């Protein structure tokens, strides 16, 4: 274990973060490791990142870090109730997922296991197949944009000067990339602002 590590904590739930920071401080202090906390991003890459994800939000974890450099441990923070409408995270950069209803002891055990398994930090030499496969194309985003407005597939086809079958294919392709199997899941995600988040790509 390193004698000094940096941890990035990113969540809107300040109460949850306060408890997590308290537990992490005690855990690393007991291991004679100095720990510094910050939120957001800095010029210096942290050793461990805790990042909250909210309903309908996706993340391409591995794209934040060059593939040929040591990788930080990356823990995703989520609400368990959101799993139904949130695509599963299969990025190879993710160390584990923490749920806010878990006990602090359980979370610290997951941090310990991830640290031991990954021999912090570790290097990743290949592109993540999950993140690089799931990127929506410009046409797929256009189709989802119009569908979110309540415009039918036939009307969307007229607007984009495409065949209805082509619009349907773009929709199905986007759903596959987002790990949705039902149209109702897709529309729930769209209404929650999911497409806006994906447009940041």
pLDDT at 28: 93
Residue 93 near residue 71, CB atoms below 8 Å = yes
Domain parsing of the chain, residue ranges: 4-129, 135-198
Candidates 93, 97, 82, 104; CA nearest to 17 is: 104
pLDDT at 201: 34
**Does 57 or 112 have the greater pLDDT score?**
112
Which CATH topology does 135-198 take?
A: Arc Repressor Mutant, subunit A (1.10.10)
Does 4-129 match 135-198 in CATH topology? no
- Asked if CATH classification 3.30.70.270 holds for the domain at 4-129, the reply, yes or no, is no
Q: Give the model's confidence band at 138: pLDDT under 50 very low, under 70 low, under 90 confident, else very high.
A: confident
pLDDT at 41: 63
pLDDT tens-digit series, residues 139-158: 998 999 899 889 999 999 99
């Amino acid at each position: 274990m390193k004698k000094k590590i940096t941890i990035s904590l990113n969540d809107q739930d300040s109460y949850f973060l306060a408890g997590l920071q308290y537990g992490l401080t005690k855990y690393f202090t007991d291991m004679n490791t100095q720990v510094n906390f910050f939120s957001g991003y800095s010029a210096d890459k942290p050793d461990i990142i805790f990042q909250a994800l909210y309903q309908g939000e996706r993340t391409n974890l591995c794209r934040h870090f060059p593939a040929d450099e040591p990788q930080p441990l990356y823990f995703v923070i989520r609400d368990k109730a959101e799993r139904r409408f949130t695509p599963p995270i299969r990025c190879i950069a993710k160390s584990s997922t923490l749920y806010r209803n878990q006990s602090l002891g359980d979370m610290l055990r997951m941090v310990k296991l991830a640290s031991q398994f990954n021999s912090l930090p570790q290097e990743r030499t290949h592109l993540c197949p999950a993140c690089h496969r799931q990127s929506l194309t410009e046409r797929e985003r256009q189709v989802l944009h119009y569908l979110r407005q309540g415009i039918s597939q036939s009307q969307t086809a007229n607007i984009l000067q495409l065949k209805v079958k082509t619009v349907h294919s773009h929709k199905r392709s986007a759903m596959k990339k987002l790990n949705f199997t039902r149209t109702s899941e897709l529309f729930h995600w769209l209404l929650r602002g999911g497409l806006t988040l994906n447009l940041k790509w």
